[in-house]
Amino acid sequence: MSEQHPGAQPPPRHELRDISFRAVMAGGLAIGLAVGGLVVVADMLFPQKSLDRLLKPPFPVIAEPRLQSDPAADMAAFAAHERDILNSSGWTDRDRGIGHIPIAQAMQDIADEGIPGWPTGEGVSP
């Protein structure tokens, strides 16, 4: 047996095993189950909220409205254009042979010639 000198320190010692592999795996499994359980609970409380945000933007994408700067002037220009078409002659579809004539002339032609196959009203007693 060796003698210890007064004031001498005992020889250093250390643990041979710090932590067991089973404890690490059990802790990891417990944390994983807890996180998974919280995800399931959150999904039950807020169904499809997180998935919806991932798949589409939080608000519908709507095109900006094309506003009229002067609606009265736009309407006046539209009415003038339509009036010009009604009072002029020209091609509507040249390839198919469709044209138009002034409305006053068209009404006079109908009054003079009638509409083919349209009942004339003759022989009807009042």
Question: CA-CA distances (angstroms) from residue 23 to 14, 18, 34, 66?
Answer: 20, 11, 16, 67
What beta strand segments (E) does the chain contain?
90-93, 98-100
Give dist(CA 85, CA 101) in Å, integer: 9
* Domains of the chain, residue spans: 21-55, 71-113
Model pTM greater than 0.75?
no
Q: pLDDT tens digits, residue range 48-99?
A: 666 666 666 667 778 888 888 899 999 999 999 999 999 999 998 999 999 9
Q: pLDDT tens digits, residue range 1-20?
A: 556 667 788 888 877 777 88
